[in-house]
Structure 1
Amino acid sequence: MINTYLPTIKNGDSTAFFLMAGPCAIEGEDIALHIAERIVRITDKYSIPFIFKGSYRKANRSRVDSFTGIGDEKALKILEKVGKTFGVPTVTDIHESHEAAMAAAYVDVLQIPAFLCRQTELLVAAAETGKVVNIKKGQFLSAESMQFAVDKVKDAGNQKVILTDRGNTFGYQDLIVDFRGIPAMRNFAVPTVMDCTHSLQQPNQTSGVTGGKPQLIETIAKAAIAVGADGLFIETHPDPANAKSDGANMLHLDLLEGLMEKLIRVREAIL
């Protein structure tokens, strides 16, 4: 399904933005289907193209005792079921090159985590699956330097690339968003997304548990749409306080529809 609207988004002639949303991690089948159903209802209502997001495994954790997943195959099969049940594309992140083919058997989009966006072998392995490749911009990189990540995927024979900004490192325990990066990355002729939740993380806390500022998700999302982002990435959960991963910066699922209504008005105002 993603391939049917990706070219339109890339050419910038769609009145809609697309949404990549879901829980940080796949916690179980029931909650994944519940979250997906809620988001599908909203995105169908407002004609917003939707990609369901969920990590089948969390490889980058501050503490060794942090939740990492329910099992690779089990989580990937849940992602596959979400896609088939609701007729939506799905996205998950991969961390090593050998994971690309495995994940590609279950999902439509392979996501490259920000910390790994310079890993040539990983990018090429993702590209060679033929799936759409969503590359998150490293917190340590300029927007302009992401051209080389795009080139690695395209040189491997895959033209289906998305770039996602998730903020820049600002000191040791905070991030800041430079919105000049959205038009800069759109100049590479690929859909450009703003990650509205990870950009509000407060990493490296003394507790070893990442903090966040979810009250600013709406601010980041509005600004991203205003400067021309093609899509938004939002992690959402019906009970963020008890989510097993990154609950501190997720949007409460009950707030998603109201936010989409506001963003549609912003989008309409700038066109």
Structure 2
Amino acid sequence: MTRSPFDLTGRRAVVTGAGRGLGQAIALGLAEAGADLILLGRAASQTSTRDRIAALGRDVEIVDLDVADHDAIAHAADQVNRDHDVDILVNNAGIIDRQDSADVTRQSWDRVVDVNLNGLFFLCQEFGRPMTRRGHGKIVSVASLLSFQGGIRVASYAASKHGVAGVTKALANEWGPLGVQVNAIAPGYIATDNTTALRADPDRSRAILERIPAGRWGDASDIAGAAVFLSSAAADYVNGHVLVVDGGWMAR
């Protein structure tokens, strides 16, 4: 029987921030496609995801990590790389701080950029090194529609997500010739904790839905298929791409 190019059996994936929302959906999607998982995230936040993956018959581990702590990233990656060959890295962990730009504090700015961009880059670095040595690997980062747009009252988030798109393209240029594909997913308006404030505002929610041709908020599971695709052999010739999954928002 010919193996499906989307089959991830025998692959091992690291997913950050897999406790809920997009990260959980992506981790479960990879597991359903056959991958074994290592979940990196805040302490005690990922046990439910671990149990659901284990119920699928996949090997799964949890490693506690604050993605904003760069020394901790090096330690966690060393621990994982010592025990496993990681085939796939999914950078999902991210935070948002909604406030007027005039009121953003340095502490708030640094925290958002440290989690969303700086931590992401150093995770790519730590797991990308052994991938390039082995000559194969997939890195998938979660970008945003705000990798292309400015948004409203989310300056630090928009800056960090623009940076995610830039890092994705830069690493693709360097590591593509070494067998490692580096891509990103830009989710549209998905019903997660990050969009709670928008969905709770009747005027903003209505304006958003009126622009989405699909006529609904996205579900976290809508992102899982894109993550499986970019993590699989089906995407071996896809590199440096930011794949928009938005129900048609950007087409309007």
Please classify the TM superposition score into its range, dividing by the shorter chain length.
Answer: 0.3 to 0.5
Higher relative contact order (CA 8 A, sep 6+): 2
Q: TM-score, normalised by structure 2?
A: 0.38
Question: Would you tell me which structure has more helix in proportion to its own residues?
Answer: 2
Q: TM-score, normalised by structure 1?
A: 0.36
